[in-house]
Copies of this chain bind each other. A is one copy, B any other.
Amino acid sequence: MTYVNTGSFVTQPGRRDDVVAILTRHSPQLAASGCRSYEVGVDDAQPDTVFVAEIWDSAEAHEQSLHLESTREAIAEAMPLLTGEMTQQHFTSVGSPLRD
């Protein structure tokens, strides 16, 4: 079932755009692993926060993606730029008003 993972990461002061650059680096492996949508974003009201919203074929697909080389490299590169303060919500989709 469609799995949605959303969250935010607080970065070290002034390092938001560096984290955005890491997270938006093109990764063909992700699509091949069942990632349907992966938006990385910002909110001017929170200048040191990076937001993500991901839609996956399943929770298992998301879980397995964490073991991809590109994902592990991105996490290792981003970690020093983060404060550790984060939020996360994940859920299994049970429908959409866009689908009949």
* Residues of A participating in the B interface, judged by any CB pair closer than 8 Å: 2, 4, 6, 8, 20, 23-27, 30-31, 35, 37-43, 51, 53, 55, 70, 74, 87, 89-100
- The A interface is mostly helix, strand or loop, or mixed, namely strand
On whether the beta carbons of B97 and A27 are closer than 8 Å, the reply is yes
Determine if A39 and B93 form an interchain contact, defined as CB atoms under 8 angstroms apart.
yes
Contacts of A51 in B (CB 8 A): 4, 89, 91
When chains A and B are docked, how far (Å) is the Cα of A13 from the Cα of B77? 43
Can you give 9 A-B contacts (C-beta < 8 A)? A4-B51, A20-B94, A23-B97, A24-B95, A26-B99, A37-B55, A42-B91, A42-B92, A43-B91
Chain B residues closer than 8 Å to A99, beta-carbon distance: 26
